[in-house]
Amino acid sequence: TDCSVVDLLSGKFSVGQVVKVKGWVRTRRDSKAGISFVAVYDGSCFDAIQAVVPNSLSNYEEVLRLTTGCSVMITGEVVESPGQGQAFEIQATGVEVIGWVEDPDTYPMAAKRHTVEFLREHAHLRPRTNLIGAVARVRNSLAQAIHRFYHERGYIWVSTPIITASDTEGAGEMFRVSTLDLENLPRNDQDAVDFSQDFFGKESFLTVSGQLNAETYACALSKVYTFGPTFRAENSNTSRHLAEFWMMEPEVAFADLDDVAALAEDMLKYVFKAVLEERGDDMAFFAQRIEKQAISRLESFISKDFAQVDYTDAIEILLQSGRKFEMDVSWGIDMSSEHERYLAEEHFKAPVVVKNYPRDIKAFYMRQNDDGKTVAAMDVLAPGIGEIIGGSQREERLEVFDARLEEMGLNKEDYSWYRDLRRYGSVPHSGFGLGFERLVSYVTGMSNIRDVIPFPRAPKQADY
């Protein structure tokens, strides 16, 4: 019977059963007694299964040449492992080498501790390491748990477009899809134009957020979310920004800011719990190797309420902290990560929800508060990272929305479809965006966001 390493190690097969395992060699060790121990992994779990290979095998001479990375198929009997680590191992009766590693001395993924910088330069080979394999499994668990969370609560998953003309954040961080000078297209010679260069003559960009589109579905299906790739032309080399990242955005009709703040907290606790249950092996590795608190802090955040604070009070806390920040603190600033991390790591020592930000630093669609100075916006800040979620109640009152557009110098016509949601059966509604890689960073403790997405896209990084 074919079987995966995870099934074997978790005891799905009984002692004495003959099984076949396919995978790659992690390590090989030979004893003087003419026995080799070959550890084989297949990515299904953190651990490798140990095959005990006797020199009586006809191709034992090949076994002695196995090196890290060789692909093999091992046949043998499941036996109880006498060693400390694992419950089971395989008493091999056959070892078939599927693929050799040519020149093992120069194999980049040799079994040793590599720096993350080195691994990043080998993005096509790095999933073979313990570290990046663990990241991939945790990332998968988190994504599946997110879908499960929303599905169990009756949310509809909506796919929003990647090519768009609308700039959700108004922050000018959009990558252009159209490259031609559209104003000066040849008048009567449109056929001569290569439309692959300019999206059929329509100025367009890669999306920075699916929110506006998600709103249209929330104002019809009540509870929706989108989860997909998002792009931002931020030419900054930080450890928390990518040019291409995944965002998960729920949008809820008849919900206010407090409702979605509670939703964010429930969702985060749900996925923390799922990952601890499903990926205990990988999380133990992160706790040992990357971030001591990786497991304990998730456990503690599941069991207690997230902190909540008004932006205005958060600024006061920063001012009173006696801390010298690189960027000065005053009411009205868009907090930088040092401020956010101080609040989460040192002041509240927990994820913290900051609410009611100054309207002047926030996007046009956020709902105005009665004080005339703030909007119903929130950020969720996580220790070690800072902002992982940004959200708001949306402005549902047409007159207020129009006045804000005008004030910001935005064009009513450009937003006519969005205004329609306010013209026909408008409802209060709210939502947020979770940066998926920031979540994976937080859970694993991996400090650079480029190491938690398979193929990072950052300035000058797009080869493979």
Nearest residue to 139 (alpha-carbon basis) of 18, 248, 6: 248
Contact 362, 378 (CB under 8 A): no
Contact 31, 63 (CB under 8 A): no
Q: Which of ligand ATP, Mg ion, none does 389 bind, CB closer than 5 to 8 A by kind?
A: ligand ATP
Stretch that binds Mg ion, among 133-141, 146-154, 281-289, 383-391 (CB under 5 A): 383-391
Structural element, H or E, at residue 409? none
Q: Which residue has the tokens 């599905």?
A: 151
Q: Which is closer to ligand ATP, CB of 50 or CB of 441? A: 441
Question: Is 431 a residue that touches Mg ion (CB under 5 A)?
Answer: no
Structural element, H or E, at residue 400? helix 398-407
Q: How far is the CB of 255 from ligand ATP (least distance, A)?
A: 18
Q: Which of ligand ATP, Mg ion, none does 388 bind, CB closer than 5 to 8 A by kind?
A: ligand ATP
Q: How far is the CB of 462 from ligand ATP (least distance, A)?
A: 15
- Candidates 210, 351, 390, 391: give the one binding Mg ion (CB under 5 A): 390
Q: How far is the CB of 248 from ligand ATP (least distance, A)?
A: 9
Give dist(CA 430, CA 84) in Å, integer: 53
Would you state the torsion angle of the CA atoms of residues 53, 10, 111, 123, taken in this order, to the nearest 10 degrees? 130
For 219-242, b/e burial (b = at least 16 CB within 10 A) is beebbbbbbbebbbeeeeeeebbb
Give dist(CA 46, CA 129) in Å, integer: 10
Q: Which is closer to ligand ATP, CB of 235 or CB of 416? A: 235
- The closest residue (CB) to Mg ion is 390
Q: How many residues lie near Mg ion (CB under 5 A)?
A: 2
Structural element, H or E, at residue 395? none
Q: How far is the CB of 390 from ligand ATP (least distance, A)?
A: 3
Nearest residue to 134 (alpha-carbon basis) of 280, 266, 310, 277: 280
Structural element, H or E, at residue 354? strand 352-358
Q: Which is closer to Mg ion, CB of 199 or CB of 357? A: 357
Contact 158, 215 (CB under 8 A): no
- The closest residue (CB) to ligand ATP is 435
- β-bridge partners, 248: 227, 434
Return the residues of window 234-273 that contact ligand ATP according to CB under 6 A.
234, 241-242, 245, 247
Return the residues of window 356-415 that contact ligand ATP according to CB under 6 A.
387-390
- Candidates 126, 232, 297, 429: give the one binding ligand ATP (CB under 6 A): 232
- β-bridge partners, 52: 37, 91
Stretch that binds Mg ion, among 150-158, 290-298, 349-357, 380-388 (CB under 5 A): 380-388
Q: How far is the CB of 137 from Mg ion (least distance, A)?
A: 28
Residues that bind ligand ATP (CB under 6 A): 169, 232, 234, 241-242, 245, 247, 387-390, 433, 435, 437-438, 449
